[in-house]
A and B are shown apart, each in its own frame.
Chain A
Amino acid sequence: MPFACIFVPNFPVAAVFRAEPELRARVVAIFDGKSPLEKVFFVNESAGRMGITPGMTKAQAELCTELTLRPRSPLQESVAHAALLDCAQSFSPCVEDAAADTAILDLAGMESLFGTLPEMARAISRRATSLGLEANVAVASNPDAAALAARGFSGVTMIPPGKEGESLESLPVEVLFADRWEGMEREGKKKEDERKKESARLLATLERWGIRHLRALAALPEVALSERLGQEGLRWQQLARGGASRTLIPVEAPAVFEEAVELEYPIVLLEPLAFLLHRLLEQICARLASRALTTQELRLTLELQNLAGTNPLCETAGISSESDALHSAAQSQLPAQHFVSGRQSKFCRTLRLPLPMLDPKLFLKLLQLDLNAHPPGPPIIKIHLAAEPARPRSAQGGLFLPPSPEPEKLELTLARIAGLVGEARVGSLELLDTYRAEGFRMRRFVPGAISETNRQKASVEEKSAVAALRMFRPPLRAIVTLENGELVRVVCSKKKEMQGSVLWKAGPWRSSGDWWEREAWARDEWDIVLQNADSAVLCRLVHDLLGGSWFVEGSYD
């Protein structure tokens, strides 16, 4: 039964590289600890060559001018770990979360999907790279041999069945204890220290015996080893021989797709923010793609620097209560919210898409347009992006179907137009169950399939044209001359065409409503023909019975 192990060497450094890929070519050290006792925790290869070693103080490391120092980021490490699990889950449903930097997966039965084992190993390596992780991949007939090979050999390693011992014999004995170091990240600090001490003691013992490679450990007599190191020693020997066998402890990786970046310096402009967002979106989309998922909702949370003098009260920007009342469903974005937690305020935007999509460029453009319309304000110190996973949409195309807008293009176009005319002014219509004037609301335009009943109804309704009304928004205030209670003349100061003598009239048609609410309305309507010098205009005249004013509401056209 084949197993594969994905191991990310120098995991804290790899997590930082994943967030800042431009650092890969530079000399980097990760420091940890409380100031002023910060110490170098991990270094990359080039830093090691320059003599920077873990354990140095930050002050000592800073003497190297070429060195780039970054603080250890548990947030980025957890995100990188999630990406590692996503990578493993994309190849097998049976994945063991062995350590923060190690995932072991059962490849049994996967050949028919992904090809031969070497092809699969290479594909895993490529997938890890696409997720921003430079990982070692090893395939062996048991999980522990695969894990040791992944820790010991860089790149892709294939261990044929039965040759585990020969393949692993050249590895140093330190690889046996590597999992102890990395796997303890999630345990308590005390246990971590205890295990570190235990590992160091055992390594020192083996060093004294002259055991430096697994070959030497495997060749030791079992009884003698057992007498000196106990059952634990025998287990190590089994591992060194590549003969240990166990069942995987599979984990169900949670479908949480979040990416975050903590900024060294606060960002003020939207352009550098877009640069970082693009990176986060690409990572999140790659993770979603690896799990064959898409997203329908993106949540952007920006942690803002709390500047002195800013109002610490919660603010609601953009469309808020009005959007709930009138355009709740019409908007693709929820209200922007500033809320304060402790000393830092947060700015949240939620991007809801009509259909599941997976296009980082599109998402970036939509977020950019949204942030242009609703700028966050204070400098940004942390970016957090989360995607709500959704199943990819399945649609059956047809040769004879009428054309319809592409959802991705349409979404971007609507966002651009919303930026142009206002968010509440683009969408489709929804009539409200009221006789009040302007009894409609705008809602989100989502191209949907026409129902069969509508088609049948439409075919029946193919009839003569219906006279349409053109509205004046806002309605034109009019001065109306009455003679013996009859309309004689109408004058609109704002529109010259809408004035003249009343040639013909029909009405009044009286209506009222909402008298039980504050916004009561009552009005009389006339359809009148206004004769002016140029032409005759047929329009609708309204008398507001509560306010007493006259308005020309629209013209028949």
Chain B
Amino acid sequence: MSSAVVSTSAAQGSPFVFEMEEEVAEVCAQPSGAELFSEGRPPQRVVPAIFSGVFSQDARLAGVTSASRLAVRSSPQMVSSGIAAMDALTGGLPRGCLTEIFGPASSGRTTVLLAAMAAATRRGEFCVVVDASDALDPLSVAAAGVELNRLLWVRCGGNSQQRHFSAVYSADSGTEKKQNVKSEPYHDEHRLEQLLRAADLLLESGGFGLIALDLGDLPPQAVCRIPLTTWFRFRRAVEHTPTVLLAVERQSIAGSCSSLLIQLGTQEHGMKQPADSRFPAPAHAQLLTDLEITAELVQSRLKRKPVRSSGITFASKTAWAG
């Protein structure tokens, strides 16, 4: 099949590729530029038929689809995030895409993460959380409804000097033992490196419904050093898979690689105290019952129209609040 390149607009000069032989014949029958001038019409650049096969025969362009023929990419399947209000805001979490959830400490990032994991395990999927700071609380995980045997927990920070919790809480811990601990930035880089390598391996392995990268406690200056190419690689690896890739961090770092960008914040902390507020209640009469979390959809690449900044507020109850 031969093709020809003709210009239908002299002003724009943008070529169009016709692949039908009938169209080529029609194009070649058009009058020359001199004839058009004589007729008082603006000149049109007509490419002789001898050049018509240049683009199609060029080995470098073999297999390249012209932009006008690119298929419209289907929108990804959305799955529940486990929080109805979040689903109403974002439409759920997209499969095969990177979703970023960011916010400061105590903004509800882990709450949203655990809710998403609980929803995934309820669907019968397997989840993995790559925990850069080894911060996951097993009791919170269980309270959130995550099925524990469907959750793989990768605790970064191993192979470096670690102290056991019980050792710190030991009775003679009044005098802190001197340790040859390396600097914090070293540990952060070490954890970050482990997280990225583990994420690479897990994405390559496949089969997980949700892969969560928890960067929530790492300092932003360390996390910002992750090259953008890494995020592109992650996005490419998760593309066309049924996996939801979720990154939890303090500030957005993946740039254009993330399909969904959600910012979280906390309004106030629910406090249960006696109704009579004239007298301040003692601490033992107070109870932390819930956290008011605000979520804002900062960016979504799933819709063609630009996203207007929209936010919602929802409450997360503590495990003992009932």
Q: Is the CB of B110 within 8 A of A468?
A: yes
Of A228-236, A277-285, A399-407, the segment with at least 4 beta carbons within 8 Å of chain B is A399-407
Given contacts A465-B314, A507-B284, contact A445 B104 (CB under 8 A): no
A529 near B269: Cβ-Cβ < 8 Å: yes
Write out the residue numbers on chain A whose beta carbons fall within 8 Å of the beta carbon of B150.
428, 447, 450
Interface residues of B in 261-290 (CB under 8 A from A): 266, 269, 271, 283-284, 286-288, 290
In the complex, chain B residues whose CB is within 8 Å of the CB of A551: 168-169
- Is the CB–CB distance between B105 and A555 below 8 Å? yes
Give every chain B residue within 8 A of A403 (Cβ-Cβ): 125-126, 206-209, 242-243
Whether B59 is near chain A, meaning CB under 8 Å from some CB there, is no
Residues of A within 8 A of B155 (CB): 421, 425-426
14 CB contacts below 8 A, A to B, read: A410-B207, A425-B155, A426-B152, A439-B139, A440-B138, A458-B122, A462-B122, A467-B319, A468-B113, A468-B137, A537-B106, A547-B171, A556-B291, A557-B111
Contact (A402, B209) CB under 8 Å given A431-B139, A547-B174:
yes
- Residues on B with C-beta less than 8 A from A520 are 171
**Interfacial chain A residues near B258, Cβ < 8 Å:** none
Q: When chains A and B are docked, how far (Å) is the Cα of A544 from the Cα of B140?
A: 22
Encode contact with A along B194-231: 1 for CB under 8 Å, 0 otherwise: 10011001101111110000001100000000000000
Q: Find chain A residues with CB under 8 A from B245 CB.
A: none
Is A430's beta carbon under 8 Å from chain B? Answer: yes
B145 CB contacts on chain A under 8 angstroms: 458, 461-463, 466
Q: Closest approach, in angstroms, between the C-beta of B189 and any C-beta of chain A?
A: 14
| A residues in contact with B42, CB < 8 Å | none
Identify the closest chain B residue to A450 (Cβ): B124
A32 within 8 A of B: no
- Decide yes or no whether A38 CB sits under 8 A from chain B: no
* Chain A: minimal CB distance from B285 (Å): 8
Q: Is A486's CB within 8 Å of the partner chain B?
A: yes
For the complex, count residues of A whose C-beta is within 8 A of B.
Answer: 86
Indicate if the CB atoms of A465 and B205 lie closer than 8 Å. Answer: no
B317 in contact with A428 (CB, 8 Å): no
Q: Are A487 and B283 in contact (CB under 8 A)?
A: yes
Q: Could you tell me if A421 and B158 are in contact, using CB atoms closer than 8 angstroms?
A: yes
**Does A422 sit at the interface, judged by CB under 8 A?**
yes
B5 at interface, CB cutoff 8 A: no
Residues of A within 8 A of B204 (CB): 413
Question: In the docked arrangement, what's the CA distance between A529 and B292, Å?
Answer: 14
Once the chains are docked, how many angstroms separate the CA of A166 from the CA of B216? 85
Whether B316 and A548, one on each chain, are in contact in the complex, defined by CB atoms closer than 8 angstroms, is no
B305 interfacial by beta-carbon distance below 8 Å: no
What's the Cα separation between A529 and B174 when bound, in Å? 25
Interface residues of B in 282-321 (CB under 8 A from A): 283-284, 286-288, 290-291, 293, 314-319
Report if B74 contacts A (CB, 8 A). Answer: no
Q: Distance in Å from the Cβ of B240 to the closest Cβ of chain A?
A: 13
Q: Which of B108, B123, B147, B157 interacts with A402 by CB under 8 Å?
A: B123
**A469 and B153 contacting across the interface, CB-CB below 8 Å:** no
Q: Check A527 for interface membership: any CB of B closer than 8 A.
A: yes
Q: Which residues of A contact B163 (CB under 8 A)?
A: 474
Q: Let me know if B149 and A448 touch, CB within 8 A.
A: yes
Within the complex, which residue of A467, A494, A507, A535 is in contact with B104, where a contact is CB–CB below 8 Å? A535
Please tell me if B154 contacts chain A, counting CB pairs below 8 Å. yes
**Residues in chain A near residue B133, CB distance under 8 A:** 470, 473
In the complex, what residues of B have CB within 8 A of residue A549's CB? 169, 173-174
Partner of B286, one of A410, A463, A504, A538: A504
Is the C-beta of B89 less than 8 angstroms from some C-beta in chain A?
no
B257 at the interface (CB under 8 A from A): no
Q: Which residues of A contact B207 (CB under 8 A)?
A: 403-406, 409-410
Whether A470 pairs with B110 at a CB distance below 8 angstroms is yes
Give the chain B neighbours of A494 by CB distance below 8 A: 184
The answer to whether A469 and B137 have CB atoms under 8 Å apart is yes
In this complex, what residue of B is CB-closest to A503? B269
Q: Which 7 A-B pairs have the closest CB atoms?
A: A422-B158, A405-B207, A506-B286, A465-B316, A421-B158, A468-B140, A413-B205
Tell whether A428 pairs with B111 under 8 Å between CB atoms, given A402-B124, A466-B144, A555-B105.
no
Residue of A413, A468, A544 touching B111 (CB-CB under 8 A)? A468
Question: Which listed residue, A413, A477, A507, touches B202 by the CB 8 Å rule?
Answer: A413
Within 8 Å by CB of A413, from B123, B134, B201, lies: B201
Which residues of chain A come closer than 8 Å to B217, judged between CB atoms?
Answer: 470
Segment 428-485 of A: residues with Cβ below 8 Å from B: 428-431, 437-440, 442, 445-448, 450, 454-455, 458-459, 461-475, 477
Asked whether, in the complex, the Cβ of B106 is within 8 Å of the Cβ of A539, the reply is yes
CB of A437 within 8 A of CB of B165, answer: yes
Min CB distance B204 to A, Å, is 7
CB–CB A544/B106 < 8 A = no
A465 touches B317 (CB 8 A): yes
For A423, give the chain B residue with the smallest CB separation.
Answer: B158
A429-B144 contact, Cβ under 8 Å, with A467-B318, A555-B106: no
Q: Are A548 and B174 in contact (CB under 8 A)?
A: yes
In A1-16, which residues have CB < 8 Å from any B CB? none
Q: Which B residues are CB-close (under 8 A) to A507? A: 283-284, 286
Given the contacts A421-B156, A440-B138, A467 and B291 also touching, CB distance less than 8 Å:
yes
**Contacts known (A431-B148, A547-B169); A402 close to B125, Cβ less than 8 A:** yes
Interface membership of A384, Cβ < 8 A: no
CA distance A401 to B125 in the complex (A): 9
Chain B residue numbers with a CB within 8 Å of A440 are: 138
Assembly CA distance A520 to B159 (angstroms): 28
Cβ of B135 under 8 Å from chain A = yes
B172 at the interface (CB under 8 A from A): yes
Most chain A Cβ neighbours within 10 Å, of B121, B155, B283: B283
Q: Does B83 have its Cβ within 8 Å of any Cβ on chain A? A: yes
Task: Indicate whether B114 reaches chain A with its CB closer than 8 angstroms.
Answer: yes
A508 at the interface (CB under 8 A from B): yes
- Interface check A427, CB cutoff 8 A: yes
A416 interfacial by beta-carbon distance below 8 Å? yes
What's the Cα separation between A118 and B121 when bound, in Å?
55
Most chain B C-beta atoms within 10 Å of own C-beta, residue among A461, A468, A537: A468
Which of A428, A458, A462, A467 has the largest count of B CB atoms less than 10 A from its CB?
Answer: A467
A178 at the interface (CB under 8 A from B): no
In the assembled complex, the Cα of A256 lies from the Cα of B33 at a distance in Å of 88
Residue B237 lies at the interface, judged by CB distance under 8 Å to chain A = no
**A417/B198 contact (C-beta < 8 A), A466-B316, A529-B269, A556-B291 known:** yes
The answer to whether A431 and B291 touch across the interface, beta carbons within 8 angstroms, is no
CB-defined contacts of A555 to chain B, threshold 8 Å: 105-106
Given the known inter-chain contacts A420-B197, A555-B105, A557-B106, please indicate yes or no for A473 contacting B125, CB distance below 8 A. no
B263 to chain A, nearest CB (A): 14
* Closest residue on chain A to residue B281 by CB atoms: A506
State whether the Cβ of A554 lies closer than 8 Å to any Cβ in chain B: yes
**CB <8 Å contact, A428 and B291:** no
**B112 sits at the interface (CB 8 A):** yes
A-side contacts of B139, CB under 8 Å: 431, 439, 469
Bound form: Cα–Cα A371–B110 in Å: 37
- Chain A residue nearest to B103 in the complex (CB): A557
Structural contact, A475 and B165, CB atoms closer than 8 A: yes
Let me know if A521 is at the binding interface, CB within 8 A. Answer: yes
Q: Does A339 contact B (CB under 8 A)?
A: no
Residues 172-186 (chain B) with a chain A CB within 8 angstroms? 172-174, 176, 184
